[in-house]
Amino acid sequence: MPALSPPALQPFLDLLRCPVCRACLRPDRGALRCPAGHTFDIARQGYAGLLTGARATSGDDVAMVQARNRFLSTGTYAPIREALAQLTADVLPDRGTIVDAGCGTGYYLAGVLDQLPGARGLGLDTSVRALRSAARVHRRAAAASWDVFRPFPLADEVADVVLDVFAPRNPSEFHRVLRPTGRLIVVRPTDRHLAELRGQVPGMVTIDPAKEQRLQHTLGPFFEAAETQRLEYTASLTRQEAADLVRMTPSARHLDDANPARHGLLSCQVTVSVLATSYRPR
Ligand SMILES: C[S@@+](CC[C@H](N)C(=O)[O-])C[C@H]1O[C@@H](n2cnc3c(N)ncnc32)[C@H](O)[C@@H]1O
Ligand SMILES: [Zn+2]
């Protein structure tokens, strides 16, 4: 008797497509298989390993994921999660489908699903370390390894909301997988975000002032902005939290040992400043 896929993946099979030939996928002995025989393992932790062959060029490593899990569990970014849940609730129909591109550990997807009892959510990320968390983050969530820069292993017009929170973007694929009534919700930092921390860590990646223009330029052909919320507040960080916040970003390489004090990182107040925009497909 063929083994079923983990229950978490079962309700998402209508969404998924074979990344090689676009056919439907069926569970088969601990894997997902298409009629042509393309086979994708289901990891012990429950996520579908759809990204096979050539490795993705980006994705968080284990230290970054651990730091992200620790930091997000402090609740410092809970207001961002709440704003996102509200923006999603405004547009999501009952029993809607959310796709979280670059979902990381699934922190935001879980928060949104908590507020929307009929919704289901699929997270995509290149980082298997992050997916181990994301696959188990919520009982109405599932996760799959995928590189957002490649055509998504998803059917056309299946998502009511695509979330992109501090993650890479693929506007044409976002557009293809969204229903015409759907929304893309993008959260990104402003140039004031964590400015105090940037001052403390030499070489910490700065926010490109032209970022908003570039975002508009790349999304513009596919989407028009429907609503933007600016969220800005001050948070007090312990030295450990400040270090985790740096370690969960690409700036982590500038903190190359376990002792934040060596880098002069202190407990501090930081400005959290992000924009969250809901976009309508053109
Ligand atoms: C800054 S983190 C944000 C994670 C999550 N959205 C959050 O805010 O907690 C960026 C995420 O994008 C993932 N990522 C990087 N490049 C990617 C790619 N090409 N395709 C899919 N995910 C990618 C990383 O592994 C990481 O989990
Ligand atoms: Zn196939």
d(CA 46, CA 139): 12
Q: Please give the pLDDT value at position 152.
A: 98
How far is the centre of ligand 1, averaged over its atoms, from the C-alpha of 66 (Å)?
Answer: 14
How far is the centre of ligand 2, averaged over its atoms, from the C-alpha of 105 (Å)?
Answer: 28
Mean pLDDT for each 10-residue chunk of the chain (282 residues)? 59 97 94 97 95 80 93 97 96 93 98 96 96 96 97 98 97 98 97 88 76 95 97 95 88 59 74 97 98
Reported in sequence order, the residue ranges of the chain that DSSP labels E, i.e. its strands, are: 26-28, 31-33, 39-41, 97-101, 120-125, 141-145, 159-165, 178-189, 223-237, 268-281
Residue list, CB under 5 A from ion ligand 2:
18, 20-21, 23, 34, 36, 38
Query: Is 99 touching ligand 1 by the criterion CB < 6 Å?
Result: no
Query: Is 56 touching ligand 1 by the criterion CB < 6 Å?
Result: yes
DSSP string, 166-218: SS---HHHHHHHEEEEEEEEEEEE-TTTTHHHHHHSTTPPPPPTTHHHHHHHH
Q: Please give the pLDDT value at position 253.
A: 66
With the most atoms of ligand 1 within 8 angstroms of its CB, the residue from 47, 55, 166 to mutate is 166
Q: At what angle do helices 239-247 and 62-72 cross, to 10 degrees?
A: 130
The residue nearest atom 9 of ligand 1, judged by CA position, is 104
Query: Is 147 touching ligand 1 by the criterion CB < 6 Å?
Result: yes
Integer-rounded Cα Rg, in Å, for the chain is 19
DSSP classification of residue 256:
-
**Cα dihedral across residues 159, 160, 166, 170: positive or negative:** positive
Query: Is 69 touching ligand 1 by the criterion CB < 6 Å?
Result: no
Q: Please give the pLDDT value at position 3.
A: 43
